């Protein structure tokens, strides 16, 4: 079968909306266009019913109650609401936050803001502890335990990393947080819909989700907020009409929410089979590339990793030059949210990867619509292009690494 170009393998940045999701959304742009907050006519009732149905679909995927789902514009807003909302709600009691070095910038930059200047009307900012990770990309639960102080109010650790796909030990950290009476927030933008997520099993109190990472539309997401054992209090960051139980005011994006819910329903049904298929494709891609090239390094743990992720460094090659050389393949050199910066990936640097190798890294994110033929084509293009670029850099042979994996 001929490969249709360009090939898309940047599914950590965003996913194509599943046609079944589009089909579910379409009526809510036209004949069912009501505002879900309009409570006095049928247009509003139908919109509200659709929103509540979607709330249930999202909740089921993460083993939560529909009443614990707050709709937002995406995981970045959810992260901000979680961190700033907790810091504001509990500021008179405790002000210490624990996170780790490979978090998404939506968490790290929010922590910096809270640390630097606190929130409006605050005289002092929060105290933030940012823990290191091991060379495999995972934070130590014992480091988390040791970092807790009597002032600690929140631990924020992502489930799966957006660059290297490494899965953090959130279950162990959740138990530690519960024992210490500390709220536990998880950025699960990359994991929900790709691997099982259970907020009850893992002791998660706040969880951020984004629809466009799981074959839903852009511009919609959710924050799970635990309602009991313990009940988590949040200060609203957006004031207005009191939507979403007062936690996030603003007219709800009904078509987007409907699509989000449908995407979650599909993931709940198909995730296990799809995950295994993507793992096979990922391993096929890895095997072809590391067999065809020397000087290739796999970044992060391969065992504790999302099934669709592969992050490789190519010694002697600039990542941007490689991307330009395979311009009929959509991959990335890091997070889509930081691709405009010339700085090496903060994630790879946290793993101890040298600046040179960090600049040579490429992230492959496979997805629902990728095929074996596409995998083989991409592997061939990468091998061909890396060899050509190395021929243009004669110093590579002299500095060839002693071993590759």
* pLDDT computed for residue 398 by the predictor: 62
Asked if residue 186 lies in contact with residue 208, where contact means CB atoms within 8 angstroms, the answer is: yes
- What's the pLDDT tens digit per position in 223-257? 999 999 999 999 999 988 889 888 999 999 999 99
Is domain 7-15+271-398 given the CATH code 3.40.5.50 in the classification? no
267 in active site:
no
| Cα separation, 286 vs 298, whole angstroms | 9
- Residue 279 pLDDT > 90: yes
Interaxial angle between packed helices 372-391 and 254-292, expressed in degrees from 0 to 180 and rounded to the nearest 10? 60
| Cα separation, 263 vs 214, whole angstroms | 7
* pLDDT computed for residue 116 by the predictor: 81
Class of the CATH-defined domain 19-265 = alpha beta
Q: Once rounded to an integer, what is the mean pLDDT over residues 279-295?
A: 98
Q: How confident is the model at residue 2 (pLDDT cuts 50, 70, 90)?
A: confident
- Residue 328 pLDDT > 60: yes
Q: How confident is the model at residue 404 (pLDDT cuts 50, 70, 90)?
A: very low
**3-state DSSP assignment of residue 36:** coil
Structure-token pair, residue 82: 């979680």
Evaluate the omega torsion of the peptide bond into residue 6 and state whether it is cis, within 30 degrees of 0. yes
| Cα separation, 68 vs 84, whole angstroms | 18
Taking alpha carbons only, the member of 234, 267, 308, 270 closest to residue 72 is: 234
- What's the pLDDT tens digit per position in 50-104? 999 999 999 999 999 999 999 999 999 999 999 999 999 999 999 999 999 999 9
Q: Once rounded to an integer, what is the mean pLDDT over residues 29-42?
A: 95
Interaxial angle between packed helices 75-89 and 105-117, expressed in degrees from 0 to 180 and rounded to the nearest 10? 30
- What's the pLDDT tens digit per position in 149-168? 999 999 999 999 999 999 99
CA-derived radius of gyration, the chain: 22
Q: Once rounded to an integer, what is the mean pLDDT over residues 321-338?
A: 84
Distances, alpha carbon 368 to alpha carbons 75, 190, 197, 307, in Å: 21, 14, 19, 12
| Cα separation, 144 vs 385, whole angstroms | 42
Which residue of the set 111, 126, 130, 337 is catalytic? 337
Kindly list the domain boundaries of the chain, sorted by start residue: 7-15+271-398, 19-265
* pLDDT computed for residue 403 by the predictor: 43
């Amino acid at each position: 079968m001929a490969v249709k170009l360009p090939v898309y393998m940047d599914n950590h940045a965003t996913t194509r909306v599943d046609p079944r999701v589009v089909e579910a959304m379409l009526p809510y742009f036209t004949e069912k266009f009501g505002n879900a907050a309009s409570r006095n006519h049928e247009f509003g009732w139908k919109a509200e019913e659709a929103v509540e149905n979607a709330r249930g679909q999202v909740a089921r995927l993460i083993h939560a109650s529909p009443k614990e789902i707050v709709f937002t514009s995406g995981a970045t807003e959810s992260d901000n609401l979680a961190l700033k909302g907790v810091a504001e709600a509990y500021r008179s009691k405790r002000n210490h936050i624990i996170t780790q070095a490979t978090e998404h910038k939506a968490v790290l930059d929010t922590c910096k803001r809270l640390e630097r200047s606190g929130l409006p009307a605050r005289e002092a900012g929060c105290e933030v502890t940012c823990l290191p990770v091991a060379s495999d990309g995972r934070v130590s639960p014992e480091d988390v335990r040791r970092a807790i102080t009597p002032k600690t109010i929140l631990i924020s650790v992502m489930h799966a990393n957006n660059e290297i796909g490494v899965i953090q030990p959130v279950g162990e950290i959740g138990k530690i947080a519960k024992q210490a009476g500390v709220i536990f927030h998880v950025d699960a933008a990359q994991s929900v819909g790709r691997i099982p997520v259970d907020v009850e099993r893992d002791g998660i109190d706040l969880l951020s989700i984004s629809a466009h990472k799981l074959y839903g539309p852009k511009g919609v997401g959710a924050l799970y907020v635990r309602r009991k054992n313990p009940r988590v209090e949040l200060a609203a960051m957006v004031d207005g009409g009191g939507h979403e139980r007062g936690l996030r005011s603003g007219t709800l994006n009904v078509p987007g929410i409907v699509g989000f819910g449908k995407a979650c329903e599909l993931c709940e049904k198909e995730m296990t089979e799809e995950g295994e298929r993507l793992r096979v494709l990922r391993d096929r891609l890895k095997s072809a590339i590391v067999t065809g090239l020397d000087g290739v390094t796999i970044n992060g743990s391969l065992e504790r990793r999302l099934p669709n992720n592969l992050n490789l460094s190519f010694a002697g090659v600039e990542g941007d030059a490689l991307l330009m050389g395979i311009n009929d393949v959509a991959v990335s050199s890091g997070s889509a949210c930081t691709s405009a910066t010339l700085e090496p990936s903060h994630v790879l640097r946290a793993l101890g990867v040298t600046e040179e190798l960090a600049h040579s890294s490429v992230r492959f994110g496979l997805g629902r619509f990728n095929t074996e033929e596409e995998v083989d084509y991409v592997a061939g293009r990468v091998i061909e292009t890396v060899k050509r670029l190395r021929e243009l850099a004669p110093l590579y042979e002299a500095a060839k690494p002693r071993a590759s994996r």
